Structure 1
Amino acid sequence: MPNLVAGCCRLLAVALACSALSGYGPEALARVLWPEEQQRLRVGLRIFPAVISALEGLQQRQSADGRLHVAVAYQGSDAAVDQVVTGLEEIEQIQDMPLTVKVLALEELRTYRGPPLGGIFIASVDLKPALMRDLSVTHGALVFSPFAGHVQAGAVAGIHVTDRILPAINRAQAQRAGVRFKAFFLRVAHHAE
């Protein structure tokens, strides 16, 4: 048994050394999305425009130049950010408002003082629930995360996957953030309290 443990330790050390030489340290390896998370991200990008369009008073969140600003929030240096930005930029506009996509690390987003945010799309899997709850309340905005467990943990909205895919909402968190959804959306969405 000691030989097996020693062999595993040597194998891990070689893997970490190879990843460091290739420019990918242990923290980069932790950011790789599992296939299920990658699929949830793709589905979330397709559902996000409908979720943000279902917000009451969305027009009031546009900036002075008539644009709707959406932040892509991440922690660390997340590989999913580029995919999210590309997907959101393809949308171009929501409810006749041109879309502006801003990439903000969580540290930047906590102190953000720019134009009002129409929504915040979470691009990192391993966020603490308190961070998602704080973001929605601080900015009074929709915090959307496609990742499993995030809506129950503190995101305002996301996706619910069973035999079909539905938008999911956390009504208690939406209320704390001052985010209101249109009645038709509340009827079709999964309530993840």
Structure 2
Amino acid sequence: MQIYRSELSPAFVDIFLKEIGLKEDEFELVLSHFRREFLPRNFFYVKPGQINAFNSYLSKGSTRTYTINEKGEEHILYFSFEDWWIGDLESMITGKPSRLYCQAIEDCEILSISIAEFEKLKEQFPSLKHWHEERMRRYVFSVIHRLTEVKAFTPEERYLHLLKKHSQIFQRIPLHHIASYLGIEPASLSRLRRRISSKKNT
């Protein structure tokens, strides 16, 4: 589906014109390699066994990325909202089948470019390559921070950090998904919210 400049979010345009520093004609060239797709609520962007062959920007909606253990229990690794790049990074880099689920929580609009085309553009535009390498470094740091939360923070601390980072989350994400992300039962999350609310009111 052809992408028109008027349909793009300012945040997406700023990535290429301001962060990366491409010229207008260079941006138009890069944009011509993207395609606009829609991912309905509850549909999967990628599932285990599939190869994540596209680099995709989430322009509208939200997703959850999770795993399922041997007992059939879901463990949500993170949520993605507007202005995030979604998918399984390991599968994108290695070309091997994914081990993760990435599912739309809301109706999503995605701007995608194939990994092969993106790699060619990185060679053509060194600033794009540098930006992508920096994004990968930030991703590694975010994974480390997430592991620190899981291992060292209490459920209440994880809840407060999530609320600070994504203040709109309880208006957009079902409570049972948030509980899974925090590593607690939905009933425990409800009690935690009531306890924190009562603290604020005293």
Q: TM-score, normalised by structure 1?
A: 0.27
RCO higher in structure (CA 8 A, sep ≥6):
2
Q: TM-score, normalised by structure 2?
A: 0.26
